[in-house]
Amino acid sequence: MKFKKSILFIILVLLISCSQKHNDNTTYTEEQNKLIQQLSYAQGEQDIDLWPRTISIQYKHRNWITGEKKTIQNTYTIQQKPKKIIAQPVGIAEILYAILPHERLIAFHNTIQDSNTSILAKKIDNKNIFSSNQTEIVIKLQPDIVFVASYTSHEFQKTLQQANIPLINVGEANTIPEILQQISILGKITGEQGNAQNLIQNIQNILQKYIVNSEKPVRVLSYTPFYKTVAGTHTTFDSICQTLNIQNIATQNNIEGFHRVEAEWILQQNPDILIVTTEQEKKLIQNDILLQQTNATKTNNIHAIPSQHLTPVSQYILLGIHDLYKIIYK
């Protein structure tokens, strides 16, 4: 793998949801609505009000340019229960929205308003919305904590640090175990451990419905025809495949993250099922002379799963699990 190419296409894939501005006409089944409701609100035992508290955050980080992998550990001391909180990453905001009283979330990054990116798009109003280059909005609000991730803009973090705004880097999460760990950590930092544990328990209970003991002999590929990228290891799609015990072709070929492939490669792999995020992408594949020859196209097994279900780094990854389960085990 050529990592310089990989990083370019990771960025492109992350921009897909912003560039594909189709209207949010997503309609949910009763089952999906119930799932969203279960994942959007958690209430557990009241946390012990014991401050200050010291929190250690450890995560695995990969430099997609050099290929270097390392484990990073940061330790933070929180002096008192934070009342004014901002989360720059969408996934962290989605988790906090479920475990915190909403008045404690005082601002959101503008990506949360994109219905292709977040389930919360319709629930967040225009009050205190900021972009990555609008740090002045964040500084003016004087938050007790701003949560960032390993992929948050260095310039954004540097500007806030210079203004003495407390930052907590929660790293990155692309698998269900990593997401569960982040929920637990966020509960400890915000003084809402009871709610966090309740959300974790809800997730674990829901996951029981989708446990498959034997591997389904079906080969699946998540493909973005606009940028010709597939999703391999260390992606939410691969975690979904692992949960459902199905074969991710990209992972079988030792592809890490998002990587560019040509149509000839896909034809050679001959997937049984192709997963895209929009009906427009589905039509692109159906009109491709080479991809028309795959088993997926011949058997009408190209399926669109919304990106806000397929790529969330929050509890809403269960929507992607639900959707793919319905496709595979229908």
List per-residue pLDDT tens for the chain, 330 residues long.
444 444 444 444 444 444 444 445 567 889 999 999 999 999 998 888 899 999 999 887 777 667 677 899 999 999 999 999 999 999 999 999 999 999 999 999 999 999 888 999 988 877 789 999 999 999 999 999 999 998 899 999 999 999 999 999 999 899 999 999 999 999 999 999 999 999 999 999 999 999 887 777 899 999 999 999 999 999 999 999 999 999 999 999 999 999 999 999 999 999 999 999 999 999 999 999 999 999 999 999 999 999 999 999 999 999 999 999 999 987
Asked if 105 contacts 81 with a C-beta cutoff of 8 angstroms, the reply is no
Phi, psi for 271 (deg, rounded to 5): -65, 150
pLDDT at residue 60, as a whole number? 79
3-16+28-33+211-328 and 42-207 share one fold: yes
Taking every pair of Cα atoms in the chain, the longest distance, rounded to a whole number of angstroms, is 64
Q: Helix, strand or coil for residue 284?
A: helix
Q: Is the peptide bond before 52 cis (omega within 30 degrees of 0)?
A: yes
Pick 42-207's CATH classification: 3.40.50.1980, 3.40.630.30, 3.90.1150.10, 1.10.3720.10: 3.40.50.1980
Domain 3-16+28-33+211-328, CATH class in plain words? alpha beta
> Smallest Cα–Cα separation from 304: which of 330, 273, 266, 329?
273
pLDDT at residue 64, as a whole number? 61
Phi, psi for 68 (deg, rounded to 5): -70, 135
Residue with structure tokens 């200050």?
52
Report d(CA 133, CA 109) in Å as an integer: 10
- Give the residue extent of every domain in the chain: 3-16+28-33+211-328, 42-207
Report d(CA 161, CA 10) in Å as an integer: 27
pLDDT at residue 127, as a whole number? 76
pTM as predicted: 0.90
> Per-residue pLDDT tens for 80-112?
999 999 999 999 999 999 999 999 999 999 999
